[in-house]
Structure 1
Amino acid sequence: MKAHETVMGWVTAELQSGRLSIGDHLPGERALAETLGVSRGSLREALRVLEAVGAIRTSTGSGPRSGTIITASPGQALALSLNLQLATRHVEHAHVFEVRLLLEAWSAEHADLASGDWPTAERLLDRMDDPGLGVPEFLQLDAEFHVALSRAAGNPLISTLMDALRTSIADHTLARAQALPDWPTTATRLRGEHRGIYERMRADDREGAAALLRDHIRGYYAETSTEPDGARTATDATG
């Protein structure tokens, strides 16, 4: 077993037993290396791997925020994996489109009106109404809005996946948006569609919201797709 697998297995067991919780500090390097029977060099390499995937955070200095702290941020690991998949072209724009359809439509269909963070969603919509907003800022708010809506379904894994998607495809999405011939017109349309989706969600019309979300995602995919069959895929997928 590799050193990082040994460390992760120990952390997982400690969390499951209740001996450790999110936010707790790991023991010092020497003590942990002795406990796990690995060298301190191997332990340091393992800790770097775990920090990269969001399992821990390591800070130097003194005080309560220093040392190695368990964070368990699965979104960071998922975003890292998706970034690599996009870079190697194992995951393409069409695949992201299909996953968004599944996740966002399901979230809308299973939304609980009482669980939604509607003030945050409305605040994001208001900020997107700023006509002087640049494309990167608009897309950031756009993505946050979609993640906020997904949280109403009460499934933390869905929200984590959505947030990981948002992080991993940010550059990819920006490049496609900046290539559009008339971004202001596109932004105006997106604002209107967002408001319509939000209103359906607030009215507890889950099927209506899901239908609007599908149309919204398909329309934007078709507009920004560079694949020859992009428009056909956007029209036919899941429908």
Structure 2
Amino acid sequence: MSAEPRAWEGVLAHIEAGLVEGDLHPGDHLPAERTLAAELGVARSSVREAIRVLEAMGLVRTQTGSGPTAGAVIVALPVGGMQALMRLQVAASGFPVADVVSTRLILETAVAAELAERAEAVDLESAEHLLDAMDDVSLAREEFLTLDAQFHLQLAEESGNVVVAAMMAGLRTSIESYVLAAASGLTDWDGMAARLRAEHRAVVAAIAAGDASTARHRIHDHISGYYRDAALTAPIREPHQEPSW
């Protein structure tokens, strides 16, 4: 089971693929908003959002007005770590869900344990703010799950391991897709949302208490339990060992 990505993410993936594969080069103009929207079957607002993200990354410059210099122009190509991250983002949409979940178990159990081991030096304020935001029962499923994904990414970023954080960021769209697909099929979303809130709080509590073993097991059960109870197909390949850094 898979969910359609948000429209602007599809536009972003299309442009990223052109950059990574060498079809787009510095100095090239992107097609006009209207043209790109028609080509990809999305609203022009989705094209604008994707270009805004690329501009924030320093890869595209936009110029208003008319003439040969107007529109969005490629000003740089992704290099080094950014290129690796973009390749992962482009590829992740095609990864089997079971493999994405298995990778999450490897990465996130290690993150939770490592954060707990140095609990006194870890700042969990940003993660807790996200959990507070998720307590709003008026949130739509999509809004709740966007915050959910950000919470997991925030923990990875708190680990201080830039490779793990980049991998989690690269997998984010794929993670959001399968999580949202599963949510759309749940008959009791309110019950699941309440459960996820409690599990998130329990993970943070174990980290704050410096209990690495409990933190590791709680996030493992949280990730694998959602996958199992949402009745997604294919078994998860459990990690053979618990990595640490």
| TM-score range normalised by the length of the shorter chain | 0.5 to 0.7
**Percent of counterpart pairs with the same letter?**
31
Check the 8 A contact 2:109/2:219 in 1, yes or no.
yes
Larger radius of gyration: 1
Return closer, same or farther for 1:43/1:119 CA change in 2, 3 Å cut-off. closer
C-alpha distance in 2 between matches for 1:67 and 1:42: 6
Alpha-carbon offset, residue 80 of structure 1? 1.6
Alpha-carbon offset, residue 43 of structure 1? 5.2
Q: Which has the higher helix share?
A: 1
The one of 75, 80, 91 aligned to 1:81 = 91
1:180 corresponding residue in structure 2: 186
Alpha-carbon offset, residue 46 of structure 1? 11
2:155 corresponding residue in structure 1: 149
Alpha-carbon offset, residue 211 of structure 1? 1.0
* Unaligned segments of structure 2, at least 5 residues: 1-18, 32-53, 241-245
Return closer, same or farther for 1:42/1:209 CA change in 2, 3 Å cut-off. closer
Check the 8 A contact 1:113/1:152 in 2, yes or no.
no
1:226 corresponding residue in structure 2: 232
Q: Is 1:118–2:118 an aligned residue pair?
A: no
2:218 maps to a residue whose letter is L
Let me know the Cα RMSD of the aligned residues. 3.3
1:58 corresponding residue in structure 2: 61
* Unaligned segments of structure 1, at least 5 residues: 8-40
2:108 corresponding residue in structure 1: 104
* 1:169 alignment partner, SS class: helix
Aligned residues between the structures: 185
2:185 maps to a residue whose letter is A
Q: Deviations over 1:135-189 (max 9, x none)?
A: 0011011111111111232101111111221123323321221111111111111
Alpha-carbon offset, residue 68 of structure 1? 2.5
Greater relative contact order structure (CA < 8 Å, 6+ sep): 2
2:34 corresponding residue in structure 1: none
TM-score, scaled relative to structure 1: 0.66
The one of 199, 210, 213 aligned to 2:216 = 210
Q: Deviations over 1:15-36 (max 9, x none)?
A: xxxxxxxxxxxxxxxxxxxxxx
C-alpha distance in 1 between matches for 2:203 and 2:226: 15
